[in-house]
């Protein structure tokens, strides 16, 4: 029985893949699960596994070629088997998607990492590292847990025999696909869906009509960073690894502020707003040819050092295109920092379905008036973009005030 090797959708938003390397050659023996090739997707370099066993009889795509998802790239069969009929068929559609979303991807989905253009809410297709030609293997318990938590099995890698997804594979598994209706955080805090009130519906409708799909508005604040700077120096002087950066502090402050202003830690869902109890921050990272937003989970529970370690690890792997789908999806709020590129101030575009994003500029020494005299202090400008359907001006402003206060008085983080 011949096995068709097709270009698989290896990320939620992938539409085509570039074949970077063949690890098996025509004539090689192949077992189920062997890595056949490396494929570059829109996000990372992924492995293409064999889903059958036998001999790699035919390789159809050369190194360097870009192939649409679903197209036939190779055939595995028994040594003497006639595969002419297989080669003659058009490539199968990848519409069989185990536990994935029932619909095919709608019109082109700009990836979530594509800033600054406003992006439509994405309708991702479920991807399937575990789905062999459409069927997800999972223990009954794993299926139940996934169902209860709204986790999409199709994107979970199974560690059981034959790729079976088992309970431990779901431990810590959180939101995977970005489709709001289907995904949910499995984080300790959970979430609560609040149906829209009449006033919210009216605001949403009128603002969308005037400003496009996500009605942005922007709030800027200037923050005195002297104390934050001192705090960083003092912590790093303790001599322990890793050394933390200002960005780590900003990340933690934003998380703590969101805990105090949960109205900003939310998703727009069309007919309701999802308010999260825990904070998962997306950190915009510039990578070759684009931008990606790895997610640090449960920032509200993590200390500065751990934040630092994770930020560095995620950024590094993002640049190497080695992130797993569950590592760049599921944030409740995002931060974009262009300070290291010398930008004083900018407005970032919200990653839907999130309700807000904070754009952070450089820390510069500027003259300021203080007690009637001129002093030179380190200052930083932060601009918050808000989805007006979820966050009003006053709400966003209060959040920003808290951010400012915490950065200007670092101990306020734990007040």
Q: Which residues are marked as active site? A: 388
Count the alpha carbons within 13 Å of 263 in the hemisphere toward its beta carbon. 15
Q: How far apart are CA 74 and CA 194, in angstroms?
A: 49
Q: In what order do the strands lie in the sheet with 356-370?
A: 216-224, 373-387, 356-370, 333-337, 281-283, 295-296
142 vs 264 by CB, closer to another protein: 142
Q: How far is the CB of 166 from another protein (least distance, A)?
A: 5
Binding to another protein, residues 90-149 (CB under 8 A): 139-144
71 vs 143 by CB, closer to another protein: 143
x/- letters, 236..275, toward another protein (CB under 8 A) = ----------------------------------------
Q: How far is the CB of 92 from another protein (least distance, A)?
A: 31
x/- letters, 197..236, toward another protein (CB under 8 A) = ----------------------------------------
Three-class secondary structure of residue 152 per DSSP: coil
Q: How far apart are CA 351 and CA 118, in angstroms?
A: 8
Burial of 226 (0-12, 13-18, 19+ CB in 10 A): middle
168 vs 206 by CB, closer to another protein: 168
Q: How far is the CB of 283 from another protein (least distance, A)?
A: 34
Question: Which among 168, 159, 177 has a CA at the least distance from the CA of 98?
Answer: 177
Q: How far is the CB of 10 from another protein (least distance, A)?
A: 25
* Alpha-carbon torsion angle 229, 354, 124, 205, nearest 10: -150
Instruction: Provide the terminal-to-terminal Cα distance of the chain, rounded to the nearest Å.
Output: 66
x/- letters, 148..167, toward another protein (CB under 8 A) = -----------xx-----xx
Size of the site for another protein (CB under 8 A): 11
Question: Which among 274, 271, 295 has a CA at the least distance from the CA of 283?
Answer: 295
169 vs 354 by CB, closer to another protein: 169
Helical packing angle, 226-237 and 393-408, nearest 10° = 50
Alpha-helical segments (H) within 292-350: 304-319
Q: How far is the CB of 320 from another protein (least distance, A)?
A: 30
70 vs 160 by CB, closer to another protein: 160
Q: How far is the CB of 167 from another protein (least distance, A)?
A: 5
Query: Of all helices (H) and strands (E), which one includes residue 286?
Result: strand 285-287
Q: 26 has which bridge partners?
A: none
By CB under 8 A, name the one of 168, 206, 312, 322 that touches another protein: 168
39 vs 142 by CB, closer to another protein: 142
Q: Which tokens belong to 133?
A: 């030609």
Binding site for another protein (CB under 8 A): 139-144, 159-160, 166-168
């Amino acid at each position: 029985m011949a096995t068709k090797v097709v270009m698989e959708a290896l990320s939620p938003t992938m539409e085509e893949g570039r074949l970077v390397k063949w690890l098996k050659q025509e004539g090689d023996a192949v077992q189920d699960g062997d890595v056949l090739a490396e494929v570059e997707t829109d996000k990372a370099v992924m492995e293409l596994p064999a889903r059958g066993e036998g001999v790699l009889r035919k390789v159809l795509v050369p190194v360097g070629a870009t192939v649409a998802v679903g197209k036939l790239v190779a055939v595995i069969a028994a040594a003497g088997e006639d595969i002419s009929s297989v080669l003659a068929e058009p490539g199968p559609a990848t519409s069989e998607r185990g536990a994935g979303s029932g619909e095919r991807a709608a019109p082109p989905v700009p990836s979530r990492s594509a800033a600054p253009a406003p992006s439509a809410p994405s309708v991702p297709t479920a991807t399937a590292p575990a789905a062999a030609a459409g069927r997800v293997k999972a223990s009954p318990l794993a299926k139940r847990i996934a169902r209860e938590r709204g986790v999409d099995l199709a994107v979970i890698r199974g560690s059981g025999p034959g790729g079976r997804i088992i309970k431990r594979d779901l431990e810590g598994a959180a939101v995977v696909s970005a489709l709001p209706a289907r995904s949910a955080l499995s984080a300790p805090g959970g979430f609560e869906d609040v149906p829209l009130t009449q006033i919210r519906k009216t605001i949403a409708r009128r603002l969308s009509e005037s400003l496009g799909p996500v009605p942005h508005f922007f709030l800027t604040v200037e923050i005195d960073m002297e104390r934050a700077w001192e705090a960083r120096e003092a912590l790093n002087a303790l001599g322990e690894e890793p050394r933390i950066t200002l960005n780590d502090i900003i990340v933690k402050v934003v998380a703590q502020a969101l805990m105090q202003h949960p109205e900003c830690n939310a998703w727009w869902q069309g007919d309701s707003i999802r308010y999260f109890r825990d904070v998962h921050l997306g950190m915009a990272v510039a990578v070759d040819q684009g931008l990606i937003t790895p997610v640090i989970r449960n920032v509200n529970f993590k200390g500065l050092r751990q934040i630092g370690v994770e930020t560095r690890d995620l950024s590094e792997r993002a640049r190497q295109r080695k992130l797993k789908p569950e590592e760049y999806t599921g944030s409740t709020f995002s931060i974009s920092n262009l300070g290291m590129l010398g930008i004083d101030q900018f407005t970032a575009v919200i990653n839907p379905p999130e309700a807000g994003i904070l754009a952070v500029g450089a820390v510069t020494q500027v003259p300021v008036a203080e007690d009637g005299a001129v002093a030179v202090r380190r200052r930083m400008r932060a601009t918050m973009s808000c989805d007006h359907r979820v966050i009003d001006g006053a709400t966003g402003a209060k959040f920003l005030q808290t951010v400012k206060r915490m950065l200007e008085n670092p101990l306020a983080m734990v007040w």
